[in-house]
Amino acid sequence: MKNKLVSSGLEDVVAAETILSDVDGIGGRLIIRGFPLDALAGRKRFEDVVHLLFDGFFEPLPEPARFAAMLGEARLEAYRIIAPFLDRLAERPVYDAMRIGVAYMPDGAGLADALRLIAAPAVLLPALIRRAAGLTPIAPAPLRGHAEDILRMLGRSKGAAALDAYLVTVCDHGLNASTFAARVVASTQAGLTSAVLAGLGALKGPLHGGAPGPVIEMLDAIAEAGPDADHARRWLTRAVADGQRLMGFGHRIYRTRDPRADALKAALRDLDRNAGRLIQAEAVERIALEVLRAHKPDRVLETNVEFYTALLLEAVGFPTDAFTGVFAMGRVAGWIAHAREQAMTGRLIRPQSRYIAPSGELAA
C-alpha cells in the first residue's frame, strides 16, 4: 500500500455509476432521473418523484396513482408498528427517537419494505413532536397526499405545497455522505432498513443535514444583536474572524449557488411573501455572502440548501430540533433507490487504508 495516495475526503474519487441524479457543481444544476430540479420542485408531488426514483429498482412498480395509495397504506402500517413505543421514544432527542423508530421496520428489500421506510419518518416525526409538546399523536390518513398528511399529523392545515416542494428538492443529491453510507451498507446485501439507518446516522452531523437548526440560531443571534444591516455585518464579520462557519453557506460540490436554495426560496415566497423572517434572512444572506467573499476571495462560498430549508420548515410549523428529521423524510427516497442500485451491481464496497506505523515500530 505504500505508494497509494490517500484522499481523505474522497472528493476526487468516483465510487459509483448512477442513473438517479447528477450534481453539476460548476453549472449549479441538479438533475434527478433526467429532469432538472426546477421541472420537479413545486410541480410534482413527492410521491410521484419517489415513483420516478424507484422506476427500474422494484418489479413490478405499480402506476403512480396506485403507488401513492400504497404509500398511504404504508403510513398506516408504519404507524401501527411504532405506536406502542411512542412514549418511550419520546424520552429521547427527536432525531435519535426517529432513528430508533425506523429501526423497528422489517429489514427486507421489496417494494413493501421500501414504502414502509418512506412512511416511517413521515409518521414518526409528527407523532414525536406532538408527544414532546404534551399532545396526543394523530394517526395517518392514507388517502391524503404524503406532504399534506405529514402536516395534518402535526396538527397543521396549511403549507402542504411548500413541504412537497421541500421533500422533492432534497430527495436525492448524488453521492453525498449519507447516500454513500447507505450504498456501503447495501453493497453487503443487507436489507433496506439497515441501509436507511446508515443514511440517518450520516445525515445527523452539522456538516451534512444538521445545519438548518443552527441557521435559525444564527438568524436569532443576529436579530438580537440589533435591527439594522450594520449590526448584521458586524456580527457576521466577527463570527468569521473568530473561525466560525456561517451555517447555510459553502458546499463541497457546488462552486456556484446551490440550485436547491432557489427552489426553496421560491416555495417559501409562495407560502408567505411578507414573512418578517424571510425579509431578515434575505438581508443576512446578502451581507453574509459579501463577508465570505472578503474572507475567502479564492474560494466560492455561496448559499446552500440548508439556509432556506430552515426558513421553510419553520414557516410550515416544524420546531428547530426536527429540521434534520424532515430532511430525512425526503432523502430517504434517494437512500432507498441508491441502495437498490448498489445491491443490484452485486459489488461489495471495500476501500483500503494505509497503515501508518507508530514511531519506533520496525519496518517489515
Contacts with ligand ACO by CB under 6 A lie at 207-209, 211, 240, 245-252, 296, 299, 301, 304-306
**Rounded to the nearest whole angstrom, what is the least distance from the CB of residue 247 to ligand ACO in the complex?**
5
**Rounded to the nearest whole angstrom, what is the least distance from the CB of residue 331 to ligand ACO in the complex?**
9
Residue 173 bears catalytic tag: no
Which is nearer to ligand ACO, 71 or 222 (by Cβ)?
222
CA dihedral for 95, 97, 103, 109, sign (positive or negative): negative
Query: How is residue 84 annotated by DSSP?
Result: G
d(C-alpha 181, C-alpha 261), whole Å: 24
When CB distances to ligand ACO are compared, the closest residue is 250
Residue 148 bears catalytic tag: no
Q: Which of 51, 146, 251, 338 is catalytic?
A: 251
Which is nearer to ligand ACO, 246 or 329 (by Cβ)?
246
Q: Which of 306, 314, 338, 341 is catalytic?
A: 306
Contacts made by residues 324-327, CB under 8 angstroms, sequence distance 24+: 324/95, 324/203, 324/204, 324/209, 324/210, 324/212, 324/213, 325/94, 325/95, 325/98, 325/121, 325/124, 325/125, 326/125, 326/166, 327/170, 327/203, 327/209, 327/212
**Rounded to the nearest whole angstrom, what is the least distance from the CB of residue 99 to ligand ACO in the complex?**
18
d(C-alpha 185, C-alpha 172), whole Å: 17
Cell of 277: 423572517
**Rounded to the nearest whole angstrom, what is the least distance from the CB of residue 307 to ligand ACO in the complex?**
7
Coil, strand, or helix at residue 358? coil
* Active-site annotation, residues: 251, 306
